[in-house]
Homo-oligomer: A and B are copies of this chain.
Amino acid sequence: MLRQASTTITIRASRPGLQEITSDVREFVNESGFREGLLTAFCSHTSASLLIQENAAPAARRDLEFYFERIAPEGGPYEHDDERSDDMPAHLRSALTATQLSIPVAHGRPVLGRWQGIFLFEHRRGTPERQIALHLIGE
């Protein structure tokens, strides 16, 4: 019989950039006891986002962070500047990545590839607390 489960996890990144949340997501799937289904993670913010990326090489992670700093830089020609200078770039970097990810679950686990990790991509300094809604449907 199909059923649902949901929760909200709170993440505080230690700094701007990629913070892996794979284990938080796996824990929710484990505790919910689903064998087959669809897991959805939804980031309830417009200045942080989600990304599935390589979980192995720290250098790849730094390159990725640096790349988004370059293509959506602070100090760009932005009209919206009544919040801090990292606000508008944060919206742009969020728009270029994902607010939501859905991952099939099989044999009780999200079907992540061997090198895939799930990351919160924090785009602001001051590391606010972030809410990520998790939803699972299946059996």
Contacts and interface: CB of A to CB of B under 8 A. Distances in A.
B4 A64 contact: no
Interface string A72-87: 1000111110100001
Contacts of A66: 77, 79
Q: State the main secondary structure of chain A at its contact with B.
A: mixed
Number of identical protomers: 3
B37 A4 contact: yes
A70 B127 CA distance: 29
Given A60-B91, A64-B92, A40 B42 contact: no
Interface residues of A, number: 62
26 contacts: A2-B2, A2-B137, A4-B138, A38-B40, A38-B135, A40-B104, A42-B111, A44-B111, A44-B116, A51-B95, A53-B94, A53-B95, A59-B79, A59-B80, A60-B87, A60-B91, A62-B79, A62-B80, A63-B78, A63-B91, A64-B91, A96-B96, A98-B98, A100-B102, A102-B102, A113-B131
Interface of A: 2-4, 6, 8, 36-38, 40, 42, 44-46, 51-54, 57, 59-60, 62-64, 66-68, 71-72, 76-80, 82, 87-88, 91-92, 94-104, 106, 111-113, 115-116, 131, 133-135, 137-139
